[in-house]
Amino acid sequence: MSSDATPDPYANPVAFGQRMQILRERRGMTRQVLAGLLGKSSDWVKDLERGRTQAPGVETVYRIASALRVRNLADLTGHPDMHVDLFIGPGHPRLAAVRAAVDSFGPAAEQLAPSGRHIAARLARAWSARHSAPNHREVIGALLPDLIRDAQLAVKHAESPPDWRAAQAVLAEVYSLSQFFLAYQPDSSLLWRVAERSLVAAQQSDDPHAIGVSSWLLTQAHRDSGPSHYDAADAVNLDALAYLNPLLPNATDDVLAIAGALTFEVGYTAARRGETATAWRHWDEAKRMAERLPETYYHPVTSFSQAIMGAHAVTVAVELHAGPESVRQAARADATAIPSRPRRARHRIEQARGYQLDGQPDVAIATLSQAYEAAPETIRYNGYARSIILEEVESKVAARRRRASELAVNVGLLAA
């Protein structure tokens, strides 16, 4: 390698600006395009790359990394201790308050505990609000701190073993709700604490539904951590199904639904591995379980229902990287049948991934716009959606670039 060759940011520690230039050029991106993505001038980009100005603050570094589609900040900064997955979304303004409630040592013993029935009613209203609100993180983020503290207090003040187990079941579900708020936010250790506490509380409750829900969320946490965690995801998933399956002949709708959701999750993880037959076999099994539920039933945590199986089919096809099959499944799935706004938005994002795989970027952007209309906070925190938008912001097709740029501004990826 000659002495004047471009240094490699993955092999040698070089200045921030040099790293940025290398990564930009590897993307085939001009300074003008990067400047537009950042809401800056091309001269600003040039000065930064040539070391004429100081490296920017953390927020701007994050925006640069997103624009360059760098998955890890360490690749841009050269600091191995800055290991941040850029599929993580921004920190919500209510994150600190939720973290404080989770990390507290528990409420004071002299505080009066609300009744378990009262907390359960508040929890049901919180789930309902989450499904109906476009700004669902804001809504549940406002409710969670008090819910967490009161559920902890109910466990502490339970007066009999049955009351204590019932309080543990409610606490487990409060932690489950917390995971929906914490997912894809920049505090993965907090998410893991909540996931593990949820499963512990559920196990202490001896409640099949609580155990199933906590296992469902812990399975997702493992799988979303990457391929090295797929085996752990399967272990949690299959253990929960082994516990629930003997109960199914006489199960309530909620227990049948969580078992169905867990059955689909086995297929989801198989799809991530590229195991086509296993993925579709578990989807088929989950569909048969959904058909045992009332037609109008909708599980309040997992969304498992007859209405969701079309969306699940799109997810399987997308995870198998089957573009044409993704599009076929997307055409069959009825998004309007999904009553939850955030889950409907998530389905639209999966559809957009399918259209992008199939070489239909204009349809992908239009579908992401539908996701934004359904639930802006869902698309704002979804790494796949942000990745598609940023890719099309660089499109050579002017009309597509304009539509993607407008959506990028709405989502917060570009400055207005």
Q: What would the pLDDT profile of 363-392 be if each residue is shown by its tens digit? A: 999 999 999 999 999 998 888 898 888 888
Among 22-26, 82-86, 99-103, 165-169, the range scoring the smallest mean pLDDT is 82-86
Q: How far is CA 126 from CA 19, 109, 112, 199, 380, in A?
A: 45, 26, 22, 20, 21
Structure confidence at residue 391 (pLDDT): 81
Structure confidence at residue 1 (pLDDT): 36
Q: Are 349 and 387 in contact (CB under 8 A)?
A: no
Q: For 398-407, what is the mean pLDDT?
A: 93
Dihedral Cα 351, 353, 359, 363, nearest 10 deg: 50
Q: What would the pLDDT profile of 234-252 be if each residue is shown by its tens digit? A: 999 999 999 999 999 999 9
Q: What would the pLDDT profile of 272-318 be if each residue is shown by its tens digit? A: 999 999 999 999 999 999 999 999 999 999 999 999 999 999 999 99
Structure confidence at residue 7 (pLDDT): 41
- What is the rounded CA–CA span in Å between residue 31 and residue 114? 59
Structure confidence at residue 82 (pLDDT): 53
Structure confidence at residue 53 (pLDDT): 80
| pTM score | 0.80
Structure confidence at residue 85 (pLDDT): 53
Q: Which CATH code is given to the segment(s) 16-77? A: 1.10.260.40
Q: Return the domain boundaries, the chain.
A: 16-77, 94-206
Q: What would the pLDDT profile of 311-345 be if each residue is shown by its tens digit? A: 999 999 999 999 899 999 999 988 888 999 999 99
pLDDT band (50, 70, 90) for residue 2: very low
* Cα 385–chain centre separation: 11
360-377 burial, b at 16+ Cβ within 10 Å, e below that, comes to bbebbbebbbbbbebbbb
